[in-house]
Chain A
Amino acid sequence: MPQYVFKMKKGELEIEFSSDDADFVEQQLEKWREEILKKHVQQD
């Protein structure tokens, strides 16, 4: 089974997410990416 690992780090806080559910990882990353893009658009 493939394993997917994703790490986020901001300051001293670090989140590592790993899973073998490819769809879930994809959805989750897509959701976070859209949120980050929205935030940047609002700031600009």
Chain B
Amino acid sequence: MYYNIKIKCDGCEFSLDSCNKEIVECEMDKYFATMFGASEEFKSQIKDVEIVNSDIKSIEDFKKMEAGQPEENKISESSSVNDAQVDFDINENVNTNPKIEDEVIEDKVQNIEEDNQKEALINEQADNGITESYCEPSEFVPAVETPYCPLEYSTFDFENEEKKVQNDEVIDALFALNKSSIAPLQDTENLNRKDEFEKINLDDDSSLQKNIDNDVKSFDVSEKTEVSLEDDIVLPEVNQPENNESCNVSSSTPLYPKITISNEQISQNNGGIDDLIAKVEQEINAIDISDSNEFNKVLLDNSNASKKTDFVVEEELVLGDDDIIDVSSDLDNKIKDEVIDNNELLLSESKEENQDLINEPTQMADNEEIIAQPQEETETKEITEEDNVNLTIDNQESENINQAKLDDIFSDDIKQVDENQADENQNENTTNILDELTNPVPSYEEYLEQLNGIIKKNNLLNNKKDKQPLKSDFKSENTDFKTYLANFKYSNLIDEFLICSYYIKNILKQNSFSMKTINSNLYASSGEIADLSVVNELINLGCIKTVEVEEKKQYTITPYGETYFISKFQS
């Protein structure tokens, strides 16, 4: 058996391992009593046990052992809860030993007295006008630290109180010394200036102004001298413009000549510009735009001039090599001949086509223009033969014209086809209209008779086509499944099975059916027999269910199956 107690408080940890049950019980009861404030009965029940073989008797002892201090205030574990309570109080006030505090205060007072002696020496030196021994004022400020006094140690101590009062007196004296030591630290020159300033304040404002002016002058002079001595920079003088009429731009080292522009010159210049504008306007007005020939002449002259220049350039380029000239001339002639031949061929083809079109009896009046066009093209041919200079242009034009004519011809063909189709439709319409006009309009009675006859014919046809009985007929018990099934459009055997099951329950009034009965109906109607796959699928759908009747497995349609049947086949 082992027993262990660990106590943790303020970061410290106390642990007790023991094999003695009574010791552990005693310790635990003590701490429990301190923690939760046990009753007197509980306290009285705590056993008194002496710890023999243990150096650690309390938390304080444990802390001292950790710190390496000797055990001074041994508190015996003897035995009562009150002692344990005291142990805790002492533990909380470990640093509140009054002896230690007294020593600390005495040391502080000694330091203050030493500081006082130093300050007295400094003051004596200051009174003698010695300012070299200047020290920072912060050194004179004593360390104003209140002695450590914890809250628990609140008893009034006369000795410490007297020491506190002495300390306060010393501190006040030191502050007084600091104030007096400020004056000798100041600069003597500044003091003299202060005296002068006080004197000036006493005088009137004029003297004050004079003094200020003098100060400013002296300041300027000194600054100038300093600048001239330190830097060799000479600033250029800036002249303010004296006259508003002219603006003189000048500098000590001018890069450009002086420019002087007076307002008179500006006005003169402005007048010259106005004169020029007026002259231009007059010249423009003098030009007679009404005579377009002159204008065209001017344009032609300009264009000829440009052409001439181009021609000169070409000559200069071509005259360099005679062979090239010959070749180029030959090529030109060949190209011209080929163009003429092509043109003749195109003209001949167009003529043939136009003749064909003319020969057609169904030609429209537009084609007459096409017939007349070859004559014009023959004229163009004559022109091309006469003047070869404009041959290429004429050929291009003729080609374009021929192409346009061919397009027109084809488009006319297409139009003719469309017109023929339209004519056929129109003919049909006209025949209908003529028939309507020739036949007399039937009277209202005749029209009704015709309608009745049509309705009767339709009814007869329907009766022939649909031999199915009405719903009221096939819901009777006498209707067989084949006639009943003929009223429904079903697609597969599953639907047929469902219809049959509904038929058995609602028409034949049988609650259940066997596979034999349903297959006999199905076979009689459609020649098919249902197997278990169909049954299982309908069972899975919830349309039918199995029922045991006289220890035999039978099937019946479910309410869901009936609603499904109605929604699918009778809606």
B25 touching A28, Cβ below 8 Å? yes
Instruction: Give the distance in Å from the alpha carbon of A28 to the alpha carbon of B511 in the complex.
Output: 79
A8 touching B35, Cβ below 8 Å? yes
Given A13-B35, A39-B36, A20-B2 contact (CB < 8 Å): yes
Given A15-B7, A28-B25, A35-B42, A20-B35 contact (CB < 8 Å): no
A18 touching B4, Cβ below 8 Å? yes
Q: List 29 A-B contacts (CB under 8 A).
A: A8-B32, A8-B35, A12-B8, A13-B7, A13-B8, A13-B34, A14-B8, A14-B9, A15-B5, A15-B8, A15-B28, A16-B4, A17-B3, A17-B4, A17-B6, A17-B24, A17-B28, A19-B1, A19-B3, A20-B1, A21-B3, A24-B1, A24-B25, A32-B32, A35-B38, A35-B42, A38-B39, A39-B37, A39-B38
- A19 cross-chain contacts in B, Cβ below 8 A: 1-4, 24
Residue B551 CB within 8 A of the other chain: no
| Number of residues on chain A facing chain B (CB within 8 A) | 21
B36 touching A35, Cβ below 8 Å? yes
What does the 1/0 interface line of A2-44 toward B look like (CB < 8 Å)? 0000001010111111111100100010011001101100100
Distance between A11 CB and nearest chain B CB, rounded to angstroms: 8
- B36 cross-chain contacts in A, Cβ below 8 A: 10, 35-36, 39
- A18 cross-chain contacts in B, Cβ below 8 A: 3-4, 6
Residue B21 CB within 8 A of the other chain: yes
Distance between A10 CB and nearest chain B CB, rounded to angstroms: 5
A12 touching B9, Cβ below 8 Å? yes
B3 touching A13, Cβ below 8 Å? no
Which has the most chain B C-beta neighbours within 10 Å: A12, A17, A21? Answer: A17
Top 5 A-B residue pairs of the complex, sorted by shortest distance between their CB atoms: A16-B6, A14-B8, A10-B35, A21-B1, A18-B4
B3's partner among A24, A31, A36, A39 (CB-CB below 8 A) is A24
Which of B5-27 touch A at CB < 8 Å? 5-10, 21, 24-25
Instruction: Give the distance in Å from the alpha carbon of A16 to the alpha carbon of B138 in the complex.
Output: 54
Instruction: Give the distance in Å from the alpha carbon of A24 to the alpha carbon of B9 in the complex.
Output: 25
Known: A10-B36, A17-B6, A19-B1. 4 other contacts (CB 8 A): A20-B2, A24-B1, A35-B38, A39-B37
Distance between A32 CB and nearest chain B CB, rounded to angstroms: 6
Residue of A nearest to B17 (CB): A18
- A16 cross-chain contacts in B, Cβ below 8 A: 4-8
- A28 cross-chain contacts in B, Cβ below 8 A: 25, 28
Distance between A18 CB and nearest chain B CB, rounded to angstroms: 5
Instruction: Give the distance in Å from the alpha carbon of A13 to the alpha carbon of B8 in the complex.
Output: 6
Given A8-B32, A32-B32, A21-B39 contact (CB < 8 Å): no
- B29 cross-chain contacts in A, Cβ below 8 A: 31
Residue of B nearest to A27 (CB): B25
Residue of A nearest to B18 (CB): A19
- A38 cross-chain contacts in B, Cβ below 8 A: 39
Residue B565 CB within 8 A of the other chain: no
A35 touching B32, Cβ below 8 Å? yes
Residue B31 CB within 8 A of the other chain: yes
Instruction: Give the distance in Å from the alpha carbon of A20 to the alpha carbon of B31 in the complex.
Output: 21
